[in-house]
Amino acid sequence: MGVRPLLFVSYSGVLGGAERILLDGATRLGEPVVLVCPDGPLAAQAHAAGLLVEPTPPRPLRLRAGPAAAARHAAGLAGLARDTARASRRHAPRAVIAWGARAILASALRRGGPPLLAVHNDLIGGGPVAAAVRRTTARADRVAALSHAIAADVARAPARPREPDPARAGEIAVLHPGVDLDAWHPAPVPDGPSVALVLGALVPWKRPELALEVAARVPRLRLELAGEAIPGDDPAYAHGLRRRAEALGGRVRFLGRVEDPRPALARARLLLHCADAEPYGLALVEALAAARPVVAPAAGGPLEIVGDGAGRLYPPGDAGAAAGAVEAVLDDDAAAAAARARAEACFDVRDSARRLREALP
């Protein structure tokens, strides 16, 4: 038998931040990799990167209320468990890497098999599903998380759900994903109007409406929103954002989905991030690598990313404080250089790939 591969499992087939982090790590481990995931953008990028893909049927991504939705999600998890078991029999991997809470839950349905690394890429909060995820995580051979914020959330003690268990959190490897710094050249600070880029889906939890409030308080600021509504969502929210933007007199542009954010970052003076509870924030790391300072809420992943003069943090949801932070960054001539220096010091993808390799069972 040849070298036994690593088997990565993803419930999602989209290409968001968590999936790009998966690809960055899987392609830098120096070992053969098989990826179990639905057909779609993630599978296509994995193929292009030379990974072997075991395609699965697409399954519902949105968690909706009601017994019918719960049954569909249970069936989806069971299906992913069967697909993973089939791929495991075919490829005899030396380890399985379950990427995200639903892939971790699906792993609970398997019996025996190779050792398991459970990788958490999101906050799981409370409730019955979160309790099931924590129980499943406790059965994994190793556990990793993208940030300390996620690790602390996963390590919450059942009896005291708001407090992490320090011992459990200390057992979780924190990956702090980085980017390929050679592919993210620092762009010169642009002349002309002061542009802030908002990079992310037009969904309520990302709080793009807060960016519009910030722009209303900073008359010299122009906004570019790079992102779109998630298919299947109610379009009313995105339509409401566009109506509110009209009141700012042409200072807001909606770019739609942007495959490569580097040109938009080159036009901007800073990245403005508004999500109150961002689990990590790869877009923030990409901005730093492009020499763009970040203004973001002082919570979750951004607390671990923004520092050393590379931007400003503000209390979550506070539009006035966010506007003050934006003004401070626009007036800080050293912020762009500090952003790139922060990326070079803390967010090289080779370091995060090494941490992933060390977390493998």
| Share of the chain residues as helix, strand and coil, in percent rounded to the nearest 5 | 40, 20, 40
Domain of residue 132 covers 6-175
Q: How far apart are CA 184 and CA 287, in angstroms?
A: 9
Using DSSP, state whether 197 is helix, strand or coil.
strand
The whole-number pLDDT of residue 164 equals 60
Same domain, 141 and 272: no
The whole-number pLDDT of residue 159 equals 46
Same domain, 159 and 210: no
Average pLDDT of the segment spanning 10-14: 93
Predicted TM-score (pTM) above 0.85: yes
The whole-number pLDDT of residue 232 equals 73
Same domain, 14 and 110: yes
Domain count, the chain: 2
Contact in structure between 99 and 8 (CB atoms under 8 Å):
yes
Same domain, 148 and 198: no
Q: How far apart are CA 39 and CA 10, in angstroms?
A: 11
167 has pLDDT over 80: no
Confidence of residue 319 (pLDDT cuts 50, 70, 90): very high
pLDDT tens-digit readout, 179-231 = 999 999 999 999 999 999 999 999 999 999 999 999 999 999 999 999 998 87
Same domain, 234 and 203: yes
Whether 221 is covered by a domain: the verdict is: yes
Whether 309 is covered by a domain: the verdict is: yes
Confidence of residue 283 (pLDDT cuts 50, 70, 90): very high
Q: What is the CATH number of the domain that holds 299?
A: 3.40.50.2000
Same domain, 111 and 195: no
Average pLDDT of the segment spanning 56-61: 80
